[in-house]
Amino acid sequence: MPAVTAVVTGGASGLGAVIARRLHADGHAVAIADVDGEGARDLAAALDPATARGHTADVTDRAALVGLLESVRAEFGPVQVLVNNAARTRATPLLEIGPEELEEVMAVNFTGTFHACQIFGQHMAEQGYGRIVNMASLAGQNGGTATGGHYASSKGAIMSATKVFARELAARGVTVNAVSPGPQDSPTVRAIVGERNLEAFQRAIPVGRLGDPAFVADAVALLASPAAHSVTGACWDINGGLHMR
């Protein structure tokens, strides 16, 4: 079996699939976890059934995350890399967000990420090595523009949690970082913005264009590498200049 095993949540489609493909291309054994279990298994089969497996997993269910870790360990051995990518994106106007929708978005985006960091972080700490990469968002830094306030709030919480876990796990060989993409050239962004508004939307981005999901995957892969041992508690911005520190 390959020496490095990676788990990607929300990996059946979109950015998660791009990340899963990149990590697999780098030689990782990849476990693709998604509520769309069929989609996850289809992607794994397309990559290589010997070194990629798809799993049905709902990150809002802590027990499901524990079961995911156990399943991956049985298939590939210890897990060294976790990418917390699973997310719910909603663009509901702020004052129209109801309690159920708020809970749904926070449960997937923040609570699921927090629980996965706990469960996989403990496993990695016991090994003395690990790389956790959380997917944050520009929305969590600037309050959001095209996305809803609950989405922005959840992503801001992820950035805080990244620092908390980074501090806790650093001495045990586990780094925890975040990648914060701005608007990417993806079906989700195009659907939220609308094709007829896309040109004007891009003009508002300082670099004048949408981001490339493949580059985001490159950043994730770099943070997931052994060479990234001196980077922890960081948030790498990939937003075309929409937010500058």
- Beta strands 81-84 and 174-181 are unpaired
Q: Which of 76, 114, 120, 151 is catalytic?
A: 151
The kind and range of the H/E element at 53 are: strand 52-56
φ/ψ of 33, rounded to 5, equals -110, 135
151 catalytic per annotation? yes
**How does strand 235-238 pair with strand 130-135?**
unpaired
| Contact between residue 209 and residue 108 where contact means Cβ atoms under 8 Å apart | no
**Rounded CA gap, 95 and 101, in Å?**
12
Residues serving a catalytic function are 151
